[in-house]
Amino acid sequence: MALIVQKYGGSSVGSLDRMHHVANKVIQAKEQGHEVVVVVSAMYGETDRLIRLANALSTQPDSRELDALLSTGEQVSMALLSMALNDKRYPARSFTGSQIGIHTDSIHNNARILEVKTEIITRELKKGHVVVIAGFQGINEHGDITTLGRGGSDTTAVAIAAALKADECQIYTDVDGIYTTDPHLIPEARLLSHISFEEMLEMTSLGAKVLQMRSVELASKHSLPVRVLSSFSDGTGTLVTFEDKIMDKRLVSGIAFSREEAIISISGVPKQIGMEGRILAKIGHANIEVDMIAQNTTAQDTIDFTFTVQRREYPKVLKALEEFATDVGAIAIKTNAKVAKLSLIGIGMRSHTGVASTMFKALGDEGIPIQMITTSEIKISVVVDETQLERGVRAVHQAFELDKEPAAMQKLFVE
Ligand code: ASP
Ligand code: MG
């Protein structure tokens, strides 16, 4: 017997039919003898609908009241799923985040979980009940309802699983698991049976949208195995786990990408100690996060300072920098708001050379200019023109034979 936390996303509980289907999935796990705690999202589209209601009524909805509103979506799901289970003669009890005692900080609409109480869950499990919990929400120190940011039900599930020391946290969604890259873009993308926590963190932060970032951080911190799988089909999905549990070791695991990038270059800046700090402080003051950074010294003893930001921040950055450029007498600001970031991720990079050269050659052979590069121990990111992203991803995917079984790919590097 194992203790399993299952989370069902919005599309998995998107209709009453789907709700029945989920109830049957839960029953399957019960029939295998497991104790089951279920975390549910709002029915598909419901959170968006509630946000639209709020925005239609108020130009700037009060954040406390917005949380009171948004948390209702998950409350509907939990009650309906429990009814379905009870009807099928599997006793179930539903609870909101505040009923369970999911304590968060007070940052409304983007709260962080501080503590999860387990008493009620344990009591109900002991009675043989399925415990159904509303995802995405908690309660702060003032007793106000909070929500955890978009996609937050993933984090609810992982936090509950960690608090209960569950054997596995299963995240049911509408994709079969984690792929080598987005199969919507590259149909040859392959489903990964395993991925390490570290790789999953990189994949998520670099643009893969399957799990909420905080849920991956939390799982990794607590070494909690997370399985991502589809509620629409029967596969075993992808297990996010420790590196040493992964048998089919590969050099690289996948390619993540993000189109929402902009690149900004300020050139001819006087070369002075501390100048880089002054440039970033300008941007930091506007509360904007800088992602990649590169700097060159020119023959004229000035520097060219280039960096990327999220595309939606780009007008603000430009404004902050224009004034600064005039003040320090920089020559020009060049920008391109239509770039994308393509990242290759793999723990194998730690122990193998030649990954970057293979990646850059693949892009070069496609005639795709690389505008910027950053690397870390297990990833290489490049900035390319947005129009060349798809071709770039495909070329790199092919160069590393990510569409093939790992065994075939290994041959490439055993030389
Ligand atoms: N219903 C919330 C959202 O749409 C939370 C979640 O589904 O994880 O973002
Ligand atoms: Mg989600």
Tokens 């698991």 correspond to: 177
Strand 226-230 relative to strand 168-173, pairing: parallel
Amino acid letter for position 254: G
Tell me the two tokens of residue 180. 């080598």
Pocket test of ligand 1: the residue of 43, 47, 145 to mutate, having most ligand atoms within 8 Å of its CB, is 47
118 alpha-carbon distance from chain centroid = 26
Q: Kindly list the domain boundaries of the chain, sorted by start residue.
A: 3-174, 269-338, 340-410
Distance 245 CA to ligand 2 centre (A): 26
Q: Find out if CATH 3.30.2130.10 is the number for domain 269-338.
A: yes
Hey, do 269-338 and 340-410 end up sharing a CATH topology, with the first three levels equal?
Answer: yes
Report mean pLDDT in 10-residue bins for the chain, 415 residues: 96 97 97 97 98 97 98 98 98 98 97 98 98 98 98 98 97 95 94 94 92 96 96 95 73 94 94 92 87 90 94 90 88 92 94 93 98 95 97 97 73 42
For residue 257, the surrounding DSSP H or E stretch is: strand 254-270
Q: What is the assigned CATH class of domain 3-174? A: alpha beta
CA distances from 14 to 73, 232, 245 (A): 11, 12, 34
Ligand 1: residues within 6 Å at CB? 9-10, 41-42, 47, 73, 135-136, 150-154
What lies within 8 Å, CB to CB, of 52 at 6+ separation is none
Pocket test of ligand 1: the residue of 153, 154, 211, 231 to mutate, having most ligand atoms within 8 Å of its CB, is 153
How many Cβ atoms sit within 10 Å of the Cβ of residue 227? Answer: 19
How many Cβ atoms sit within 10 Å of the Cβ of residue 190? Answer: 18
Amino acid letter for position 206: L
How high is the pLDDT of residue 413?
Answer: 45
- Listed residue (37, 65, 58, 50) closest to 10, CA to CA: 50
Tell me the two tokens of residue 80. 């309906």
How many Cβ atoms sit within 10 Å of the Cβ of residue 361? Answer: 14
Determine the atom of ligand 1 nearest the C-alpha atom of 9: 7
Q: What CATH code would you report for 340-410?
A: 3.30.2130.10
Tell me the two tokens of residue 379. 């990833």
Cβ proximity of 241 and 289 under 8 Å:
no
Query: What's the pTM value of the predicted model, to 2 decimals?
Result: 0.90
- Listed residue (132, 138, 146) closest to 117, CA to CA: 138
**Cα 5 to Cα 169: distance, rounded to the nearest angstrom:** 5
**Cα 288 to Cα 291: distance, rounded to the nearest angstrom:** 10
348 three-class SS: helix
Tokens 């849920």 correspond to: 215
Cβ proximity of 171 and 9 under 8 Å:
yes
**Cα 197 to Cα 210: distance, rounded to the nearest angstrom:** 14
Ligand number nearest CA of 97 is 1
Query: Helix 213-221 to helix 197-205 angle, to the nearest 10 degrees?
Result: 160
How high is the pLDDT of residue 327?
Answer: 87
Cβ proximity of 213 and 204 under 8 Å:
yes
Task: Tell me how far apart the terminal alpha carbons of the chain are, to the nearest angstrom.
Answer: 46
